[in-house]
Chains A and B, each alone.
Chain A
Amino acid sequence: MSIDLSQFYEVFIDESFEGLEAMESELLNLEPGDVDSEIINTIFRAAHSIKGGSGTFGFMAIADFTHVLETLLDQIRNGERELESVHVDLLLKSVDCLRSMLHAIQNDEPQESEEAEVLRKQFQAILDGKSETGEQPAEPEIDVDAEDQEQNAAPPTSIWEIHFTPEPHLFRTGNEPLFLFEDLSALGDVSITCDLEKLPDLGHIVAEDSYLSWVITLDTKAEKAAIQEIFEWVEDDAKIEYKLIAQIDDFDLVVSSPEDVEQSNPDEAKIETNENVELIKTVKSEAKKEAKVSEGVVAAKPAVISKPKSKPADKSPTKSDSSSIRVGTDKIDSLINMVGELVITQAMLNELGESEEFDQAKLTALREGLAQLSHNTRDLQESVMRIRMLPISFVFSRFPRLVRDISQKLDKQVELILLGEQTELDKTVMEKISDPMVHLVRNSLDHGLEPPQERTAAGKNATGTVTLNAYHQGGNIVIEIIDDGRGLNTAKIKQKAISNGLISEEDDLSDDEINELIFQPGFSTADEVSDLSGRGVGMDVVKRNINALNGTVEVTSSPGLGSTFTVRLPLTLAILDGQLVTVGSNVYIIPLVSIVESLQIDLSKVNSVGGGLDVLRLRDEYIPIMRLYDLFGHQDANTKLDNGLLVVVESDNEKVGLLVDELLAQQQFVIKSLEANYKKVDGISGATILGDGSVSLIVDISGLIKLAGLKKAGRQGLDFNKPLSEAV
């Protein structure tokens, strides 16, 4: 039977990535010289598991590479070698290397890595050069006795007499002599006699002890090593003598007398020089040598494992998107409970439905049942969504390494503080927020935090801090990236914005508003493009990525004290809190997160600015009015501004008012993709099915704004502060 090992690859790769994360995180916790044995053990075990698994599943390049890591780590945890920082650096580099080798496997690319070779040589140099106990990390030596290497064309038949005397405790090792004899009989003809001499009388027998010994005569063509292998496990727990009684080549018959059998002492080793008689006594050190022989035989086999013939065919080539998720059993149990409740409610409603007659009492019961159903469904929904949620620590764990590497590169001293690591969020959201967060942290390290001298000169601690804080608020997860650096240079930002044409000199903007400008495309106040940031492509991409997740990002800053970036994300991408509105006979949904306020229009506050565009003066702002009936082509809707309602929404820092007929309820909706079921429609982000079975479209605010060309109008410098005649 041959088993296809490729079914285990994905699990192995996933757990290896986890192991590497654990290795990396513990390596960063290590102080050279101070060896916390639990930390070293964790690191060792991670490397050991990867080595074992990769060998088992045929990923030999990884197995060979990990072998040197494991050897070094073994020496360190045994106390044979002191941990030095050069080891830590080398191990960290190896973690990176192994990560890319694992990715190569996922992407069906060759695993061999030059980098691995380079690192391996460095490890080898350390192991060879500075091994304090002088031990060489030897590959298992196949140290075979010369006699066993006789390669005759036809193996001779040998007749062995094996004296097997187990120690009394043999049974307590779980070994069974009868199985050993069965295995011997597989090698050839066997005849066995049992010696009962040592057996005490019934009154004195200890049932668990062994008192028996045996003499086995074996007629076999097998080599001595094969026989010894059968006794491999019991060598230390038994006295075993192998006597070659006769050997029959094709032509010769050589027989000699067994008279030179001596009473064996476990400590003696005696090898007769008579070539026809071999008397090998089992001795502890001999046992080790012979153990090596059989070890050699067993260890040789893994070399036969060939490279996996078929790599998993359906593995998608993307790096970090894995198609599996680990779920705590408590969540599953909760889910099972919910479903149980649902089944009960369904049964109850079913029974009601089978009634012959419907009276008031049954109607009430029906209503109660439906309320119960609604309750069950909501619970189930929440329960299921929680399955996709994972603690944000998965993303946070990238940062200790990142901060260490970058702060070293920039010659800055940085302490990273992580708060709220257990805060959970949707797995997909988490995967997508990782890169924007990295950019924000890099930004803090590069631009926010000052070099140590500058900090001390300003009376601050030479070590700057970057804090990542995550918590739930409302239906969102909030992630703060806080640094205690020099803060944003508001004046410089203002200058840059003016020279970029984003704002003008006279614009009266608050400091916070000016700071928000850094999220505009092409914005960077760094004079030089540093390696990490400053290319001016970062912040707007960050914002766009966050917006794509239905989230928001803001910045607040105090000069000299630091900056805080606040990212808000919905807990899940599949569900939306929305406001139902009507336009004519059609029902639309506006995402609640975008709604600023809803109001009735005071006609006296409406100005017409040409091109069919109306604006509403709302306090000190001018809000362009979008007539949805016009945009969506509904004839049966209200067209009068003072007859409908204006829903003021915001997107990308632009405010717009949507004219609708009526406001209906606010509720949660399951977002269904329009693109998947129909096609992409500008201005619409998705659809849902309402309680009455009808389809309702979800409005995409930024899409709508683009559609109506309002953004362009805004950019063209329509100045709403000037009197009408001069505004255009």
Chain B
Amino acid sequence: MKKILAVDDSASMRQMVSFTLKKAGFDVTEAKDGQEALEIAKSSQFDVVISDVNMPVMDGITLVQNLRGLPQFKFTPILMLTTESGTDKKTEGKAAGATGWIVKPFNPEQLLAVIKKVVR
């Protein structure tokens, strides 16, 4: 089973993402901010990381930068959740090393389509 790390400070978003991905057969771990995600990541392997950008404590961009510094996450697909008005965030995300993005709001089907782009 492929493992996904889902990071978002909104509990309802985490639940929706988690439920959708679990139903599609993924093993999902949740984190509520970049800091928590980084802690979890340091001692685990994941096949995909999907993270919101705006979060307290440590935001998504910083998280990506930190993840890319960990050997096991050098090549891991990392997807950012951005909003339409955040074109800068996309570039920023990419500059930090993110693989791609999903634009909010998205529905479960769109989420799965995007995940399929990076994990088979």
User: Which residues of A approach B to under 8 Å, CB–CB?
Assistant: 1-3, 5, 7-9, 11-12, 15, 41-42, 44-45, 48-49, 51-57, 63, 70-71, 74, 137, 139-140, 171-176, 179, 182-183, 208, 232-233, 236-237, 288, 291, 295, 298-299, 301-302, 305
Contacts and interface: CB of A to CB of B under 8 A. Distances in A.
Interface in B54-107: 54-56, 68, 74-78, 81, 83-85, 87, 90-91, 94, 97-101, 103-107
B40 interface: no
Size class of the B contact interface (CB-based, 8 Å):
35 or more
Nearest to A138: B85
B117 A49 contact: no
B83 A52 contact: yes
Kindly list the 7 A-B residue pairs having the minimum CB-CB distance in the complex, ordered from nearest. Answer: A55-B105, A174-B99, A12-B12, A233-B100, A174-B77, A56-B105, A11-B12
Contacts of B55: 45
A56 B23 contact: no
A173 B20 CA distance: 25
Nearest to B76: A174
A301 B110 contact: yes
A288 B99 contact: no
A73 to B, nearest CB: 11
A229 to B, nearest CB: 10
Contact of A49 (B10, B77, B98, B103): B10
Given A3-B20, A15-B10, A172 B103 contact: no
Given A12-B12, A52-B104, A173 B94 contact: yes
Given A11-B15, A233-B99, A71 B118 contact: no
B83 A173 contact: no
14 contacts: A1-B108, A3-B16, A44-B54, A45-B56, A53-B12, A54-B105, A56-B12, A56-B13, A70-B85, A139-B84, A174-B97, A174-B118, A175-B99, A236-B94
A299 B54 CA distance: 19
B85 A71 contact: yes
Contacts of A137: 85
A174 B105 contact: no
B75 A15 contact: no
B84 A299 contact: yes
B16 A8 contact: yes
A227 to B, nearest CB: 14
A171 B75 contact: yes
B9 interface: yes
B104 A11 contact: no
A84 B58 CA distance: 28
Majority secondary structure, A binding face? helix
B79 to A, nearest CB: 9
B106 A56 contact: yes
Nearest to B48: A174
A173 B99 contact: yes
Nearest to B14: A11
Contact of A74 (B81, B85, B99): B85
A176 B99 CA distance: 9
A2 B104 CA distance: 18
Nearest to B84: A140
B83 A51 contact: yes
B37 to A, nearest CB: 15
Interface in B1-40: 9-13, 15-16, 19-20, 23-24
A477 to B, nearest CB: 29
Q: Which of A41, A52, A54, A302 is packed against the most chain B CB atoms within 10 Å?
A: A52
A81 to B, nearest CB: 15
Nearest to B52: A52
A441 B107 CA distance: 46
B23 A172 contact: no
A85 to B, nearest CB: 25
B12 A232 contact: no
A56 B16 contact: yes
A623 to B, nearest CB: 57
B98 to A, nearest CB: 7
Contacts of A176: 77, 118
Contacts of A236: 91, 94
A11 B49 CA distance: 23
A145 B74 CA distance: 36
A509 to B, nearest CB: 56
Contact of B107 (A7, A56, A171, A291): A56
B67 to A, nearest CB: 10
B75 A172 contact: yes
